[in-house]
Every structure is written in C-alpha cells, then in structure tokens.
Amino acid sequence: MITDHQIHRRLIELSFEKAREELKKTGTSYHSKKQKAEVLSDVISEYGYTYSPKSIINLYRNLIELHKDELIKKPEVILALCKYLGYPDYEAFKVPLTDKYTEPSPTEREELKTVSRRSWNKRRIVISGIFVMSILAGLLSFKVLMPHQRWMEWQGTHYEEVSYDPQKLQHGTLKLYKEERIRIFKKITPDCNTEFFTEHGKENIWYGKNEAGQLDFFTGHGLHPETGKTLKAITPYMIRKYICKDY
C-alpha cells in the first residue's frame, strides 16, 4: 500500500515538473532547481503562506535525490501544491496515486543504477554531441529571438515595458514581460486608510526589505524587484507596528 512518504515524494516531483514546463514558456531551455523552487515559492505565497525557495530545495533533495522517508511538515504547503497541480485538496491528490503509483524496491533501485552505469559509456559520446549542438543552437536562437521578446523593467514604483537591452539582461534588471505584473504590481506607501485585506480576509498588501534594509510595501505577491527575495503577506501585527498603530 502506498505510504504518505511516497505520496509526498510524488507531490514534490510533479510540482517541479510543472514548474519546469512553466519556465519553458519564458523561452529559455535550461532551468535550474533554484528557479523551479522560486516558482513554487511564489505559488505557495499565492495561498497566503510564506515558504522559501531554500526550504523547497531541501524538500526536493531529501525526498527525490536522497530518497528519504520524509514528510512535508506544513499542511499549508501540501494544500498549495495540490491546488497548483489541479486538485482541491490532499485527499483528492491521493486517489489516483493509490491505484497506479508504486515505489521501486531497494533491489529494483540498485538494478536500475547498474543498468544506468553500464549504458552511460555508450550514451556519453552521443550526449556530448547533442550538448555541443544544443549550445550552438541556443546561442543562435538567443541572438535571433531574445530581442523580439517583450520585456519590462522596474521603475522605482512599478514595472514598465522597455526595449531589449543585453546589458540590462546580464545585470538581471530586465525581466520578461508580464501584463498582470505591470497592471497590478505597484510599490505603495500604505496608511490607516489602506485596504489591507479583502472582504474575505485575503491579503491585499505584501512587504519586504529593500537593499537599504527598509521596508517596502507592494500590491502584489512575488519577489522584491530590488533584492529578489520573496515578499511576505501583510499581517495585523505588521500593520500596527509599522503603518497604523490604531489598526
């Protein structure tokens, strides 16, 4: 019978696969584990819970690479990833796995490793050739396609669409164009009259420290435009401490 450890392992595996597919849509062919973890961190923050990319990478390492019998300890993370994959909750995610997902035994895993080692020498030359061709194709597509993408840049309080600039791309200030980011994501100075939450209690404001160590407040979740760190959802405590003591 499938265990919760196996189900959690499959949840992380499928979440990283979906994050990879979404990153592919940005037009690049290589996506690091960190990039995929950042996507999943943003996804989790959309459901009102902060979980760092580093914590997600640790989950991936322990569950997938080291094959440890570890559980995802935060139920908020489990629920957010299940919804990301199109399931309403954890119980719904478990149903199809119970019938069709089986974990390989230790003996089967060792056999797979042996076969992999034996076949590696045969595949190495082919892979090397493909790798060189991929680099050449990537360089060509980069020069041809990248300038024709739509781009945006942070302008202090908001994103604006800008022209392609290879130096800005290299420095990390040039971002792929996202319409909802330009339309919704703004830096603001909140006060006692700010609507911090919706009528259903969901956050309207997120915050994070800038490069000078000062708090900035934004109208959308995601990463701080200056530091690249994940923004945190506003709380009544933060409102009373930094914005409106009478809140």
Spatial separation of the C-alpha atoms in residues 31 and 33, rounded to whole Å? 7
Domain residue limits at 126: 113-146
Q: Minimal CA–CA distance to 234: which of 226, 225, 247?
A: 247
120 in any annotated domain: yes
134 in any annotated domain: yes
Mean pLDDT along residues 135-151: 62
The tens digit of pLDDT for each residue in 218-237 reads 999 989 999 888 999 999 99
Name the more confident of 217 and 4. 217
Ramachandran region of residue 213, left (φ > 0), alpha (ψ -120 to 50) or beta? left
Q: Which residues pair with 223 in a beta bridge?
A: 230
pLDDT for residue 21 is more than 90: no
174 in any annotated domain: yes
107 in any annotated domain: no
pLDDT for residue 191 is more than 90: yes
Q: Both 186 and 169 in a single domain?
A: yes
Q: Both 135 and 217 in a single domain?
A: no
pLDDT of residue 52: 92
Over the chain, what is the mean pLDDT? 83
Q: The pTM is what?
A: 0.45
C-alpha gyration radius of the chain: 22
Number of domains composing the chain: 3
Q: Both 94 and 37 in a single domain?
A: yes
pLDDT of residue 79: 92
The tens digit of pLDDT for each residue in 51-75 reads 999 999 999 999 988 888 889 999 9
As a whole-number percent, the residues of the chain with pLDDT over 70 amount to 77
C-alpha torsion angle, residues 219, 220, 226, 231 (rounded to 10): 110
